[in-house]
Chain A
């Protein structure tokens, strides 16, 4: 039986569900405004902390303030853009516990886009303001020798970052299905990782750097391409090809994440929890 014309694809489903959630959030306008101011301030405070640190030392791990601002800005922007788009997977555990996940399974559209859009709120735009602010400030003030390649690597860094973090959100969803109330355990991976990539990697020591570059995908988010943009030598002396391996890595991670998601759904179907 063919699907009738006009059946929404994943993107349409996602946008339609996201719009409903956004409009739901906007029903409480005063509360939303307060929460948005709050979210912007909190993200700004973290940026202020970085500035305070640099007020005391001229450089950290060989990175000047401008360079650190760029590094911090891209990592934050990539993470919060992925948060904006995909973080609905985090609410899956609560949904399963309340039994409302079933409602998503009896609709004639893909499940994952509905999950991505879950509980969407415009508040998630807020941390992007300081993030892009820091990134722009870094780009303007850092002594970058601009080439076309370097310019192209800026959006490239962001997109790869969003893609890699997006795959991690899918893993979060799959994990939530497997261990319904593991919301807290997964925060260590996502929010903790976001914190680590915000600071120059060489701060953390060689072993940890290796771990982050290879063991944890987050190194790809901004470390390697940023080294190129800022014309920094790699403390690890990895072949320069790694600076451009991000998309391959992101694609592979998405493949794995989608497999994990399918496996988790299959598990859910066989256990109901």
Chain B
């Protein structure tokens, strides 16, 4: 097992000022009794609503935060005690917060990592060539990072996190804000990395597409503990989240009454209708159009938030 957490917990003590003299102590259980075993070579989707304990647990896995209780081993090491050794075994991509040197060419950041991780020269050259080729970074190596687009910078961050051949790569929202092409490049790259090199990947995301295209296994964290651990299809079947049809009518009116749908929100001429995934959307739109004055429609697929929310509404 690469990551082994047993009854892992993290409690924060907050001191809140309630009046000028009084301070109230409250304890918050950010993570409680979290059990997780990730074998080598896994590509894991690590999801959950904001504030559920995802980033707190990732910070414990990476040796940034110390656990308050339970047992944790990553690559056979104890993250806080063996911080430096662990750092050589893991790669971390912090999503929107780049770790590259903002004002210097991409190449310079890689050179610094070469030294800091004491990567043997031959291996560094080989890895750099490999990732530059896979992520198409060649023309960008001499560009200052501040001039790179978000997608280009993400590709740079991915390379930076992988130059020392980590066994496990943690990614926090790697596709957020990227255009469709960049998202595809990143996803294809991660899939190949996992397949070819056997790098274990722990992916935190709110993008259901990332999970659908990449992850064989999904772990849902809620209220600081594992709420679901299994494959995506089973999660979907269990929740069967609704799709949402957003319709704009000619004039404001009462809630649309069509069998098989429920109006979840009504705002002037605009109405939101929830309908099951298996319903034929085209037929549904036709039915509404024949009975109401329709101006515009759009369909929203259930995102991971909806799926997770539904998991808890039941």
Contact = CB atoms under 8 A, between A and B. Distances in A.
A269 B72 CA distance: 15
B12 A24 contact: no
B62 interface: yes
B102 A24 contact: yes
A114 B56 CA distance: 24
Contact of B118 (A8, A20, A27, A270): A8
Contacts of A272: 12, 56, 59, 64-65
Contact of B64 (A13, A25, A102, A266): A102
Contact of B90 (A13, A16, A106, A271): A106
Contacts of B83: 105
B49 to A, nearest CB: 19
Contact of A27 (B62, B63, B104): B104
Which has the most chain B C-beta neighbours within 10 Å: A4, A8, A103, A106? Answer: A106
A108 interface: yes
A141 interface: no
Interface in B90-114: 90, 92, 94, 97, 99, 101-104, 108, 112
Interface in A10-69: 12-13, 16-17, 20, 23-25, 27-28
Interface in B180-225: none
A4 B77 CA distance: 16
Contact-residue size bin, chain B (C-beta under 8 Å from the other chain): 20 to 34
A144 to B, nearest CB: 46
A14 B117 CA distance: 14
A17 B56 CA distance: 28
A270 B104 contact: no
Contact-residue size bin, chain A (C-beta under 8 Å from the other chain): 20 to 34
A272 B57 CA distance: 12
Contact of B68 (A24, A98, A108, A270): A270
A103 B97 contact: yes
Contacts of A24: 101-104
A248 interface: no
Given A105-B63, A106-B63, A269-B66, A20 B12 contact: no
B191 to A, nearest CB: 24
Nearest to B115: A16
Nearest to A23: B104
A109 B117 CA distance: 8
A205 interface: no
A243 B21 CA distance: 46
A7 interface: yes
B65 A108 contact: no
A65 B85 CA distance: 56
B236 interface: no
A102 B59 contact: yes
A16 B88 CA distance: 18
A272 to B, nearest CB: 5
A12 B87 CA distance: 18
A271 B12 contact: yes
Contacts of A3: 84-85
Contacts of A13: 116
A25 B97 CA distance: 20
B85 A1 contact: yes
A265 to B, nearest CB: 10
B89 to A, nearest CB: 9
Contact of A106 (B66, B80, B92, B102): B92
Given A8-B118, A102-B94, A106-B64, A16 B112 contact: yes
Contacts of B68: 270
Given A24-B103, A27-B144, A99-B97, A108 B66 contact: no
Interface string B31-65: 00000000000000000000000001001001111
A94 to B, nearest CB: 13
A100 B97 contact: yes
The 8 closest A-B pairs by CB, nearest first: A108-B87, A6-B118, A24-B103, A269-B66, A103-B99, A27-B103, A108-B84, A7-B118
Given A106-B63, A269-B64, 17 more contacts: A3-B85, A7-B118, A16-B112, A20-B108, A24-B101, A24-B103, A100-B97, A102-B59, A102-B92, A106-B87, A106-B92, A108-B84, A109-B84, A269-B65, A270-B65, A271-B13, A272-B59
25 contacts: A1-B85, A3-B84, A3-B85, A4-B118, A5-B118, A6-B118, A17-B112, A23-B103, A23-B104, A23-B108, A27-B104, A27-B144, A99-B94, A103-B92, A103-B94, A105-B64, A106-B62, A106-B63, A107-B87, A109-B116, A266-B66, A269-B65, A271-B13, A272-B56, A272-B64
Interface of A: 1, 3-8, 12-13, 16-17, 20, 23-25, 27-28, 98-100, 102-103, 105-109, 266, 269-272
